[in-house]
Structure 1
Amino acid sequence: MKRLAVLALAFLLSGCSVSLPFGGQQQQVRYYVLSAPVSAGTELHTPRIGVMPVSMPGYLSRPQLIVREDDGVNIRVLDFDRWGEELGNGVSRVLCNALSAEGLSAVPLRTGTPVDAKLMLDMRRLDGQLGGSVQLDAVWTVQKKKEVIGSGHVVKSAPCGDELSSMVEAQSSLIQELAKEIAQAMK
């Protein structure tokens, strides 16, 4: 009898954990990834730049997408809209592809590939408002044998629509523009 009561209680509790208020259906989780340009590749003799793991602010270091509210201060964490990869890894991937498209051979440093220089990126902001704009604020430094051979601070914005996919596309475009600025400074 006790065993039956325990099973019934477990069944009720598990049923409570999946039921939604007002008879609604469970919401599906959607996943997003940053888009990168397709590069034609670079010559093997081109000096390789190793992109170090990207430093991200704490509020962006989570699987959920973040939308900034109209007041510019408050953020909203979207529980059912998530990154398909860690955002820092996505930024690194897009940056490597975009740098390669600009003629610089770039690889994520975590791959173990020998490199000639290291790119450090401190992403201070990469968020925005739906129906408004997306903001990118990043500081970058390239070092070769512990000597700084290039650095910069980039602040850019891009308009985005009312859909999350347009926000992610704007974020991708801003990272690609960042890569162009880094490539121009390194040439």
Structure 2
Amino acid sequence: MMHNRNSLSPKTLAAAALVASLLAACGSSPPATFYTLASPADSAPAVRTASQGPQTFIEVMPVAVPDRLARPQLVVRSDATRLEVLEQDRWSSPFNNELRDALAAGVAARLGAIDVSRGGRPADQASYRINVELRDFDAARGGRVQAAFGWTITRSDDRRSGACRLTVVEPVSGGANADVVAATQKAVTQAAQAIADGVRALQTGQGGQCSS
């Protein structure tokens, strides 16, 4: 009796079926959803008037965040002891980069300033260097977002500086991940406003004063 060399054993067929099912499962995964912290209100360039005085330049440095947050995935609390890293729900860039860009845009919009973090400041103009640290962050669907910020602001010409801390609590309106993002955006907006107030304080000679 002749044997067909092309026939497959039951084990080989089972392995092939397993691989096919895994590939099908991968192919059916839902596409990732991407979010941004940028506020539409801060995206338009600020309109300056002559009464506002000289142009303001800011330098918003990279933002330090807890290690668990330095990733593109959203991180939310599921209960008192567990966190979820959401593979299908992501920031448009790693969270620390997203946070820096949102704060820079927010502060610039409130001051009518130009962010020169990546270059462009005239050599004869002072700038305000802003170093921000996100000291703590906790977010829960259907709960709240709590964010603790700390920052220093330093003038480049006379080295006067100010420092401040701010803890923001924003309710999360629903149980969707988009609701967590919206609450986080509101928290960042509050921080941008407080930082802008700190820059104004330095501009008027009130270095070291914290408005929060």
Same fold (TM over 0.5): yes
- Give the 3-state SS of the residue equivalent to 2:135 in structure 1: strand
- Give the 3-state SS of the residue equivalent to 1:15 in structure 2: helix
Q: Which has the larger radius of gyration?
A: 2
Q: Does 1:31 align with 2:34?
A: yes
- Give the 3-state SS of the residue equivalent to 2:180 in structure 1: helix
- The aligned counterpart of 1:139 is 150
Distance 1:19 1:50, change over 3 A: same
CA contact (8 A) 1:136 1:155 kept: yes
Q: Structure 1 residues 57-66 or 44-53, which shifts more?
A: 44-53
C-alpha displacement at 1:14, in angstroms?
5.5
Instruction: Name the CA distance, whole Å, in 1 between partners of 2:17 and 2:153.
Output: 58
Over residues 54-100 of structure 1, what are the superposed CA-to-partner deviations in whole Å (9 max), with x where a residue is unaligned? 111110011211001331x4211111111111212211221122112
- The aligned counterpart of 1:169 is 182
Query: 5+ residue gaps in structure 1?
Result: 2-7
CA contact (8 A) 2:73 2:94 kept: no
| Aligned partner letter, 2:137 | L
Alignment of 1:6-155 (within 5 A): 15=20, 17-20=22-25, 25-36=28-39, 37-38=41-42, 39-41=44-46, 43=48, 45-71=54-80, 73-107=81-115, 109=117, 111-114=118-121, 116-145=127-156, 147-155=159-167
**Which segments of structure 1 move beyond 4 Å, counting only runs of 4 or more?**
10-14
CA contact (8 A) 1:48 1:104 kept: no
Instruction: Name the CA distance, whole Å, in 2 between partners of 1:178 and 1:106.
Output: 18
Instruction: Name the CA distance, whole Å, in 1 between partners of 2:114 and 2:185.
Output: 17
Instruction: Name the CA distance, whole Å, in 2 between partners of 1:172 and 1:106.
Output: 21
Distance 1:105 1:14, change over 3 A: farther
Tell me the matched-pair count: 180
Q: Structure 1 residues 47-56 or 26-35, which shifts more?
A: 26-35
Over residues 135-157 of structure 1, what are the superposed CA-to-partner deviations in whole Å (9 max), with x where a residue is unaligned? 11111111123835211111111
Distance 1:42 1:122, change over 3 A: farther
| Aligned partner letter, 1:60 | L
CA contact (8 A) 2:56 2:111 kept: no
Instruction: Name the CA distance, whole Å, in 1 between partners of 2:69 and 2:136.
Output: 8
- The aligned counterpart of 1:5 is none
TM-score, normalised relative to structure 2: 0.72
Higher relative contact order (CA 8 A, sep 6+): 1
C-alpha displacement at 1:11, in angstroms?
7.0
